[in-house]
Amino acid sequence: MMQTTIVDRLVSPFRILCIAMLLAGAVCYIIFTVHWRWMWDTQAMHYVVLLLQRGRIPYREIYDLNMPGSYLTERWALALFGGGDLGWRLYEFILLGTLTAAMIVIARPYDWLAGLFAGVLFMLQHGSYGPYMAVERDEVMTVLIFVGCAFLFEGVRRRVAWLLLFVGLAIGIAALMKPTAALLGLCLILPAFLALKKEQVATTQYVIWASAGAGIALALLLGFLLPGHALSAFLFTMRKLVPYYSSLMHPTLSEMVRHSLPNAFLIYLPLAFVLLLTRRIQSNWEMRALWLGFLFGGFSYFIQHKGYYYHRIPFVCFGWLWIGIEFCLAIRDSGWRRLMGATGLAFGALLMVPINVGSIRAQHEVNAGEYVIEDDLNRLGGKGLDGKVECFDMVTGCFSALFRTGIVGSTPFTGDTIFFAKEDNSVARYYRSLMWDDLHRKPPSVIIVSS
């Protein structure tokens, strides 16, 4: 009896220690990344927004394969935070803080610590890859999904139907970034509606409010495409360019599996599954929704078939949250379950936090090509080169230099990937022909070719 009492007394200080370590990790993340410059895919997205601001019509006068939601969220973020590096860091801090807050709301009935655990560990693991992965589209999409999930859970818990307006809106905007998010929305909402039906609660109002939110997202899509008569060009891009791009650069299945989850999950997942199978508390619709989210994340990662780290973000985030909930539920039990839960929390908060903080502190990447190109452009004519520069590049620094100098390129292309099919591809031939015609119709004064 005395031994049990001592263990019980140690639980509270252990929780406080874990919370302190997680909060310290979040603070370190801010301190050690605030100097990062935006780079990689962000420069192409920024450049598209610059083209939109200069009156170019998406898909008709801008040849890029991203979905409208990616441009809309990028444009809103630039309007709020500006195009500077510090403003963009603030944007990501708010994104990750919002994600963590949504996780805490979702985990609240079980243990809010699970949400903090999941949010901070994802933040640090994500940051350990350096500024290349910062504010990727999948990160923004995942934040929207978790915000929608939090509103869904609270709306059903409190029986407040109008909260589902924000579910439909958040998931709808996420679907404008990647259509598979719409499938996830259905996977999340279905268990909730089945639970309401089981309790004989009318679901009509919930459906109406969720549909209204999705309708707002649809209105945003049409408002983006229709004024420039870009709908047909958008559909052409989705039918032709996106499938062509999807066919390029496929890793092997073994590589996909190896990179699908962080290495630490080799420890987390077995512990969580054992705790799940031995848990006395029966799983409810919320836990089933989280499992469906986890399965969707895996489906989304594998169906894209690229193996990029940022494609697995929904997979990892749903995994972190479910694992955190299992650990926190376990430390409320006794015996070996409490020990396993405490071991999992300690491994994350007391070991992985400092390891990932160390990895983040060691990140000092800069896009060296950007500085050189920007300096060359200013030396060769600066603003006078507007419409006279052509980038055969995507992420090496050319588009970053164009954005920072406010120069628009001579053709509507935002990358050179679509020109380099290994086989004789009709899509590649089509866009090569467009590029060739544009170069002859309006020859650029400066051509920049990267690796």
Task: Report yes or no: 138 and 33 within 8 Å, Cβ to Cβ.
Answer: no
- 114 and 211 in a common domain: yes
Judged against a pLDDT cut of 90, whether residue 299 lies above it is answered with no
- 212 and 90 in a common domain: yes
- 381 and 357 in a common domain: no
- 405 and 301 in a common domain: no
Q: Which of 345, 361, 377 is the last residue of a domain?
A: 361
Helix residue ranges, H only, 279-334: 285-304, 313-330
- 437 and 293 in a common domain: no
CA atoms within 13 A on the CB side of 53: 16
Mean pLDDT of 24-40: 92
- 287 and 429 in a common domain: no
Whether 60 is covered by a domain: the verdict is no
Q: What is the residue type of 306?
A: K
- 173 and 97 in a common domain: yes
pLDDT at position 429 is 83
Residue 54: CB atoms within 10 A of its CB come to 12
The CA-atom distances, in angstroms, between 128 and each of 33, 133, 134, 169, 355 are: 10, 9, 10, 31, 9
pLDDT at position 6 is 54
Q: Which of 304, 335, 361 is the last residue of a domain?
A: 361
Mean pLDDT of 124-141: 90
| N-to-C CA span, the chain | 69
Whether 390 is covered by a domain: the verdict is yes
pLDDT at position 4 is 52
**Choice among 115-129, 202-216, 410-424 with the minimum mean pLDDT:** 410-424
Number of domains forming the structure of the chain: 2
Judged against a pLDDT cut of 80, whether residue 90 lies above it is answered with yes
For the chain, give the percent of residues with pLDDT over 70: 97
Cα(347)–Cα(360) distance, integer angstroms:
18
Q: Residue 423 — very low, low, confident or very high, per pLDDT cuts 50/70/90?
A: low
Predicted confidence (pLDDT) per residue in 1-11, tens digit: 444 555 566 77
The highest-confidence range among 13-22, 233-242, 380-389, 442-451, by mean pLDDT, is 13-22
Whether 151 is covered by a domain: the verdict is yes
Q: What is the mean pLDDT of the chain?
A: 88
**Choice among 114-128, 147-161, 253-267 with the minimum mean pLDDT:** 253-267
pLDDT at position 3 is 47
- 194 and 256 in a common domain: yes
Question: Residue 58: beta bridge partners?
Answer: 62
- 432 and 298 in a common domain: no
Mean pLDDT of 86-93: 94
Task: Report yes or no: 140 and 314 within 8 Å, Cβ to Cβ.
Answer: no
Task: Report yes or no: 308 and 328 within 8 Å, Cβ to Cβ.
Answer: no
pLDDT at position 8 is 62
Q: Which of 333, 361, 389 is the last residue of a domain?
A: 361
Predicted confidence (pLDDT) per residue in 196-224, tens digit: 888 888 889 999 999 999 999 999 999 99
What range does the domain containing 69 cover?
2-33+65-361
- 308 and 250 in a common domain: yes
- 435 and 415 in a common domain: yes
Q: Residue 448 — very low, low, confident or very high, per pLDDT cuts 50/70/90?
A: confident
Judged against a pLDDT cut of 90, whether residue 101 lies above it is answered with yes
Tokens representing 201? Answer: 């609660």
Tokens representing 281? Answer: 């508390």
- 183 and 317 in a common domain: yes
Cα(386)–Cα(211) distance, integer angstroms:
44
